[in-house]
Amino acid sequence: MIELPAGGSAARNPDLDWSQVRETMLMLGIAVAQVKHAVAESNASLNALAFSFADTHDRIESLRNDLLAQASTLPAELELDTKIAEIGQRNMQAVIAFQFYDRLSQRLDHVCGTISGLAELVSDRNRLYVPSEWMALQDRIRSQYSMEQEKKLFDDILNGMDIRQALSLAASMVPVQSDQSTGPESGILSCFN
Lowest mean pLDDT among 4-13, 61-70, 99-108: 4-13
Residue that wins the pLDDT comparison between 118 and 92: 118
Predicted local distance difference test score (pLDDT) of residue 188? 40
Whether pLDDT at 191 is above 50: no
Predicted local distance difference test score (pLDDT) of residue 79? 84
Mean pLDDT within 154-183: 78
Bridge partners (DSSP) listed for residue 188: 183
Distance CA 14, CA 29 (A): 20
DSSP assignment of 81-145 equals HHHHHHHHHHHHHHHHHHHHHHHHHHHHHHHHHHHHHHHHHHT-HHHHT-HHHHHHHHHHHHHT-
Q: Quick: pLDDT tens for 95-154.
A: 777 778 888 888 898 899 899 999 999 989 899 999 999 999 999 999 998 888 889 999
Predicted local distance difference test score (pLDDT) of residue 139? 95
Q: Say whether pTM exceeds 0.75.
A: no
Residue that wins the pLDDT comparison between 89 and 181: 89
Whether pLDDT at 180 is above 50: no
Predicted local distance difference test score (pLDDT) of residue 181? 43
Q: CA–CA distance from 134 to each of 23, 26, 154, 158 (Å)?
A: 21, 21, 14, 12
Q: pLDDT band at residue 187, thresholds of 50, 70 and 90? A: very low
Distance CA 50, CA 94 (A): 10
* Phi, psi of 46, rounded to the nearest 5 degrees: -60, -45
